[in-house]
Amino acid sequence: MTKTDIIIIGAGPCGLFTVFEAGLLKLKCHLIDALPQVGGQLSEIYPKKPIYDIPGYPSILAGELVSNLMEQIAPFNPDFTLGERAESITQDEAGIFTLTSNKGTQISAPVVVIAGGLGSFEPRKPPLEGISNYEDKGVDYMVRDPEKYRGKKILIAGGGDSALDWTIELADIAERITMIHRRTSFRGALDSVEKVTALAKANKIDLITEAQAIGIQGSDTLESITIKTKEQEYALAVDYFIPLFGLTPKLGPIADWGLGIERSAVKVDTLDYSTSTKGIYAIGDINTYPGKLKLILCGFHEATLMVQSAFKLIYPDQKLSFKYTTVTGIAGLE
Amino acid sequence: MDDNNIIKISVTDRDGKQHLLEAPTDMNLNLMEIIKAHELPVEGTCGGMALCASCHCYVESDHELKAASDDEEDMLDQAFYVEDNSRLSCQIKLNNELDGLSIQLAPV
């Protein structure tokens, strides 16, 4: 088990900046994030979009802001557990929390900060009645091992790069690939679109456009998917259905941690952004309080005040003397 | 505020309840923002960049709307329950021509 001073759930901009403010108080941080990369929404949803309301930056690309934050916190050597979702949390008699990830990683610390944004990113699941009964029994939301599909009949749904790329990749492996998409045009890379169109022309795959999956059938495992096109509705017999509709944030397990949740957000005290559980704080998009604004700059402010409170909780007998970094820089603090 | 720049919009929520909203057209607002301002259940996760589809709605009146951009269509590809009259409300800029617009929130 890894020990640290502050566990930060979520490696988005607020989580990252928390490392800096905590570092100034010589508190060590460990970040955990469900995504394989840092930056949260900024990296996953809009890395190339400019942000205009970061003080001091008339305009900065979201991806650049994340890189800058990583540079800013590097001196404090935070630990990262990426690609794992914070699943459960326990507290011992001494008040120390132990966080367990969905992959069994355990981290312990006296303070936990939830900087989870809108939740952890999960695949968008098509709203087909009963689809959850077939998860891992024929329905896969991501491709982990292409060999699994050797000699099988596969239906891939979606119009983006992952749908196109896996259709190309699996075309030689599977017995037959059918790809369905809502429109006739695709949003993926042009090169991939051309490859998929060529495969369809050569009758290597079945490409069905202006079509959607509307039903799912099977006794124990998946047997067929109902497809609706402009002309007809029919059941296509398949071994696997791979819907690839991107990722969307879901609050997830945090909702069951016994914290005050209001409209998918964690209620906090604006004095220090503490939750109803002593030692657990919530900052950024995931918290709510009267007058809350979901802005990165507000999250930075929340992180700063929160670590002062965390310090007092960890070291109740030490006097905290606030230092301006303009006087000393961060030398000697890291 | 100039009364000439206020329009009425009808929003049907996911329970089928109709809400009549008054919206200013001189504040550079989009439809998602005015729906959210009335605390109707639209997430607007990405803040209006056509990047999340959480403001997906159906346009029910026959107003002439600016056609959806490629970005909007691309995002609708990742949404569900998409119909011919599907739009992302964040991509609909409010103007005086939209007086009487009627929309329904798409299921989530």
Distance from CA of A160 to the nearest CA of B (A): 8
* One domain for residues A164 and A233: yes
Nearest residue, CB atoms, A160 vs list B49, B77, B107: B77
Residues A131-152, mean pLDDT to the nearest whole number: 95
Q: What is the average pLDDT value for chain B, to the nearest integer? A: 93
**Which of B45, B49, B78 is facing A246, going by the closest CB pair?**
B78
Q: Which residues of B touch A127 (CB under 8 A)?
A: 80-81, 107
CA distance A8 to A10: 6
Judge if A117 and A134 occupy the same domain. no
Please give the angle made by the CA atoms of A286, A289 and A294, to the nearest 5 degrees.
50
Of A177, A212, A245, the domain-final residue: A245
Domain membership flag for residue A333: no
Is A28 in the same domain as A62?
A: yes
Check if A73 contacts B (Cβ < 8 Å): no
Please answer yes or no on whether B46 and A160 come within 8 Å at the CB atom.
Answer: no
Find the residue in B nearest to A295 (Cα).
B47
- Asked if residue A113 has pLDDT above 70, the reply is yes
% of chain A beyond a pLDDT of 90: 87
> Could you say which of A197, A226, A245 is where a domain stops?
A245
SS3 assignment for A142-180:
CCCCHHHHCCCEEEEECCCHHHHHHHHHHHCCCCEEEEE
Note the CATH number of domain B3-105: 3.10.20.30
Strands B18-24 and B6-12: antiparallel
Q: Are B50 and B72 in contact (CB under 8 A)?
A: yes
* Per-residue pLDDT at A327: 73
- In tens, the pLDDT along A50-104 reads 999 999 999 999 999 999 999 999 999 999 999 999 999 999 999 999 999 999 9
* CB contact (8 A) between residue A183 and residue B77: yes
In chain A, the N- to C-terminal Cα span, in Å, equals: 23
Q: Hey, is the C-beta of A246 within 8 angstroms of any chain B C-beta?
A: yes
A38-51: average pLDDT: 92
Cα–Cα distance for residue pair A186/A138, rounded to 1 Å: 25
Residue labelled with tokens 């329009």: B7
**A/B interface, count of CB pairs below 8 Å:** 48
Instruction: Give me the residues paired with residue A123 across strands.
Output: A247
Residue A276 has pLDDT above 60, yes or no: yes
- A95 and A22 share one domain: yes
Distance, CA of A101 to CA of A329 (rounded, Å): 35
Q: Show which of A229, A245, A261 is a domain's final residue.
A: A245
Q: DSSP state, A128?
A: -
Locate the chain A residue with the closest alpha carbon to B46. A45
pLDDT at A222 over 80: yes
Q: How confident is the model at residue A329 (pLDDT cuts 50, 70, 90)?
A: confident
Are residues A165 and A108 part of one domain? no
- pLDDT of A272 reads 97
Shared-domain flag, residues A84 and A96: yes
- Minimal Cβ distance to A124: which of B47, B74, B78: B78
- Would you state the pLDDT for residue B28? 92
Within a domain: A26: yes
Position A239 pLDDT exceeds 60: yes
Closest-CA distance of chain B to residue A223, Å: 22
Report yes or no on A261 lying in a domain: yes
Residues A133 and A234 in one domain: yes
Which CATH number is A153's domain given? 3.50.50.60
Say what the pLDDT of residue A332 is. Answer: 62
**pLDDT for the residue numbered A193:** 96
pLDDT (tens digit, 9 = 90+) per residue, A287-328? 999 999 999 999 999 999 999 999 999 999 888 777 777 777
Domain limits at A232? 125-245
Same domain for A8 and A117?
A: yes
The amino acid that residue A51 corresponds to is I
Mean of pLDDT over chain A: 94
From CA A96, how far away is CA A98, in angstroms rounded? 7
Residues A130, A241 within the same domain = yes
State mean pLDDT over A94-115. Answer: 97
Mean pLDDT of A128-142: 95
Is A117 within the bounds of a domain? yes
Judge whether residue A331 has pLDDT over 80. Answer: no
- A155-169, A269-283, B38-52, B84-98: segment of lowest average pLDDT: B38-52
Write down the ipTM of this complex. 0.81
Domain count across chain A:
2
Same domain, A21 and A105: yes
